[in-house]
Amino acid sequence: MQKLHNLFLDSFHIPQEYAALFEQVYLHNQQNKQEELDTLHKKLMKQRIHAVESTLETILLDSEIPPRLSDAMRYSLLAGGKRLRPIFCLSMAKLCAGINDSKNTWVQALPFAIALEMIHTYSLIHDDLPAMDNDDLRRGKPTCHKAFDEATAILAGDGLLTDAFYFMTNCHLPARNILESLQLIAKAVGSQGMVGGQMLDMEAEQRKLNLDELCVLNAKKTGALLQCACLSGASLMGAANTAKEQIQKYGTNIGIAFQIIDDVLDIIGDSALLGKNTGSDEANQKSTWPSLMGIEESKKKALEYCNEAVNALHDLARAEPMADKNEQYFLQKTASDMAFRVY
């Protein structure tokens, strides 16, 4: 475990050069530094993804797990992906632990962060099943039920979801913080959250939704887990309510922007780069942001929501001067880069 912790301490380290570039671009409007900042941000994000991947490789190898089940769970978990949810969780933990966290307590959130990726992967496996979206391709590879079989894919999802809750209890942090975070995640992915959102999504195939209905569906199906990834990082560190309010705002806005971007990329994206088939929303006559307001308006909306996320962290920094400034910059840049995926 110590080895993994060290890997995260290294890969989440933000060099002073990053903060300097960020301030030159965003505070002093030095556009000539933009490319340098973009390149460094991508490099740091890659380091974080690599640390998450390295950790995922070490899990679910227990000899008590039937080999075919372990293979199917690991097949989907290790198939790639942006690893956004664990990165948001750890990043928020680091932000809230603050500049005086000499013992690096934020890294103790690692099992929780990994569990979020397990839950996300379960949702993708089940979403791809013939009874749901019936997809052949995910993260650039055959979906779990194609690579194995339908019953194994259902069990792989069940295993990932349930084991995730076991992982989450393994953080060496105050029990009340773990309990609060567990409640958040159970609510976010259960019937009031992601599972409920999936139900609304299935029902929506029969009719056209209005924007309010679409927002509710998106908030549950996609937004709840992303928001919880952010908020749980803060809860695990026992952050103040003032910080949690702004982090919730960041997570909510990121969640909406993320769905709009996913909808737009389903039309204009490159299936090879996305690692999944595109055009499925139109084929399934789904209500999406572009179907309600067109592509250009949707892109503008995505940008607006990302900007709101950035503003939430400005407000957090004003209220919490001990928050980790470098991490604040990293999270702000992550939010603004998100919108540019569709530009």
Binding site for ligand GRG (CB under 6 A): 81-82, 84, 120, 123-124, 126-127, 139, 194-195, 198, 221-222, 259, 262
In terms of CB distance, is 171 or 189 closer to ligand GRG?
189
CB of 307 to ligand GRG, least distance (A): 20
Sign of CA dihedral 249, 239, 180, 85: positive
CB of 317 to ligand GRG, least distance (A): 26
In terms of CB distance, is 17 or 149 closer to ligand GRG?
149
Q: Taking a C-beta distance cutoff of 8 angstroms, is the pair 118, 161 a contact?
A: yes
CB of 131 to ligand GRG, least distance (A): 10
CB of 183 to ligand GRG, least distance (A): 19
Whose tokens are 């490099």? That residue is: 43
CB of 331 to ligand GRG, least distance (A): 16
CB of 143 to ligand GRG, least distance (A): 12
Cβ-closest position to ligand GRG: 81
In terms of CB distance, is 9 or 219 closer to ligand GRG?
219
Whose tokens are 């737009």? That residue is: 264
Q: Which H or E run includes 130?
A: none
In terms of CB distance, is 15 or 279 closer to ligand GRG?
279
CA distance 266 to 167: 33
In terms of CB distance, is 324 or 333 closer to ligand GRG?
333
The DSSP result for 278-310, as a single string, is SSHHHHTT---HHHHH-HHHHHHHHHHHHHHHH
Using alpha carbons only, what angle is made at residue 22 by residues 17 and 233, rounded to the nearest 5 degrees?
95
3-state per-residue secondary structure call for 16-75? HHHHHHHHHHHHCCCHHHHHHHHHHHHHHHHHHHHHHHHHHHCCCCCCCCCHHHHHHHHH
In terms of CB distance, is 60 or 264 closer to ligand GRG?
264
CA distance 195 to 222: 10
Beta-strand ranges (E) seen in the chain are: 137-138, 141-142
Q: What residues contact residue 163 under an 8 Å CB cut-off, 6+ apart?
A: 60, 73, 118
CB of 135 to ligand GRG, least distance (A): 9
CB of 139 to ligand GRG, least distance (A): 5
In terms of CB distance, is 119 or 237 closer to ligand GRG?
119
In terms of CB distance, is 127 or 320 closer to ligand GRG?
127
Q: Taking a C-beta distance cutoff of 8 angstroms, is the pair 177, 106 a contact?
A: no
